[in-house]
Amino acid sequence: MITGLRCAVCDASVEIVQPFTWACPNAAPDDPHHLLEFVDDGVVEPVDTRTTEPIIRYRRRCAWWAFARANGMSDDDTLHIASTVAGGFATSPFGRHAALSAALGINVWAKDETHSVAGSHKARHLIGIMLHLRVAETLGLLTERPALAISSCGNAALAAATIASSQGWPIRVFVPTWMDDAFGDGLDRLGAEVHRCERRDDGALGDPAMAGFRAAVADGAVPFSVQGPANAWCLDTGRTIGWEMAESLPDSGLEAVYVQIGGGALATCLSAGLGREVPLVAVQAQGCAPFAAAMERAIHVTDPEHHWAEVMMPWSAPTSLADGILDDETYDWIGVRRSVLASRGRTVIAPESSIVAAASLVERTGPPTSPTGTAGLAGLMADLDEGFRPERPVAIVLSGVAR
């Protein structure tokens, strides 16, 4: 059971009973390099086998549940809240992908997140934050609803607006000016307040949408973020993807799981849920590979967590067809690195030709998936080109329905 959170950078601790422990208490605008991580007592709570709805099934392993229980809420009440808030979540398909296996001549297992809430896995990260808020509201710890805030122009924004809309919760979405108009209309229809952020005239560097998000959070908005340093609670229910996979592995086990890395929350959560027996292969595109560079730098640094700025350096001018993983910084590099090391995994930099080849292969085989969501497969294809011959099945995650 989760008992609290501790910062991987400065060791600050907070107890699970405290509400709204989104970010490290020592993080500040001029010192953002902190990361709260969940701490548990080593006891693995049983799953609720009466249902396959993941948020309910795995609730007792989750931090939002421990937060509710620590504040005196009954398990039945947590069940009621989970059913009303996360009733739309279903276990996503995971199995051998016959057409991909035939095309590549190996056994490929795919976790298909393209039919999940809002068409990707992103809602899994955000629902834990919403559950925390709804629990706090039910306990009387929250009497007015502060707006949610997110900076994204892709799957995360859509997931955030979908969840906020389902709960009638106000949300502000910060997007760059070049965002697709049709996408903005979709967010508008969900009732989101969309802020198109211009690059600042004074020549200030950095993502203007992220600056808008930070200002909103400083003003009292809830960081409804899919990046652990901004809101650790996105790393809670995100683990359901790995728990689901762990319950339906092939008999022989998996040789590896190839996961596309943007901010790194997906790989962190997936590997935490799946367990260290399955090597995590962290895949980035050649045109944006800050995580692979950080892994190299970390070899030469003792305690890399304490030397964030030296290890995790932003990538300049990211570019790839896989435009959803062009985060210039792998915000959750600490979690991904730990999982790669613990599972004896590795990093792969997929050449752009593999990113394109993976996207067009899945275009032929289905399910309809964005090039971002086939980037893990691109890493596998790059390895096969280099002579990799797995003996056991290899898993990938297909996420982000093609639009």
Binders of ligand PLP among 289-308, rule CB under 6 A?
none
Specify the residue, 347 or 370, whose C-beta has the smaller distance to ligand PLP. 370
Partner interacting with residue 149 (select from Zn ion, ligand PLP, none; CB below 5-8 Å by kind): none
- CB atoms under 10 Å from CB of 40, counted, come to 15
Indicate which single residue of 171, 279, 372, 380 sits in contact with ligand PLP (rule: CB under 6 A): 372
CB 174 within 8 A of CB 209: yes
Specify the residue, 120 or 339, whose C-beta has the smaller distance to ligand PLP. 120
Q: Write out the two tokens for 60.
A: 């007792």
Residue among 44, 47, 37, 40 nearest 12 (CA): 37
CB of 214 to Zn ion, least distance (A): 17
Across the beta sheet with 193-197, what order do the strands follow? Answer: 193-197, 171-176, 148-151, 222-223
Task: Please classify residue 218 by burial: count the beta carbons closer than 10 Å to its beta carbon, then call 0-12 exposed, 13-18 middle and 19+ buried.
Answer: exposed
Spatial distance between the Cα atoms of 400 and 187, rounded to a whole number of angstroms: 16
Q: Which stretch binds ligand PLP (CB under 6 A): 169-177, 181-189, 262-270, 356-364?
A: 262-270
Q: Which stretch binds ligand PLP (CB under 6 A): 158-166, 192-200, 239-247, 264-272?
A: 264-272
CB of 327 to ligand PLP, least distance (A): 6
Spatial distance between the Cα atoms of 274 and 253, rounded to a whole number of angstroms: 11
Q: Which stretch binds Zn ion (CB under 5 A): 30-38, 116-124, 344-352, 372-380?
A: 30-38
Spatial distance between the Cα atoms of 196 and 187, rounded to a whole number of angstroms: 12
Q: Is 191 left (phi over 0), alpha (psi -120 to 50) or beta?
A: left
Binders of ligand PLP among 346-365, rule CB under 6 A?
none
Partner interacting with residue 400 (select from Zn ion, ligand PLP, none; CB below 5-8 Å by kind): ligand PLP
Specify the residue, 279 or 324, whose C-beta has the smaller distance to ligand PLP. 324
Residue 273 touches ligand PLP, criterion: CB under 6 A = no
Task: Please classify residue 300 by burial: count the beta carbons closer than 10 Å to its beta carbon, then call 0-12 exposed, 13-18 middle and 19+ buried.
Answer: exposed
Chain contacts with ligand PLP (rule: CB under 6 A): 120, 154-156, 226, 260-267, 324-325, 370, 372-373, 399-400
Which positions touch Zn ion (CB under 5 A)? Answer: 7, 9-10, 12, 24, 26, 34
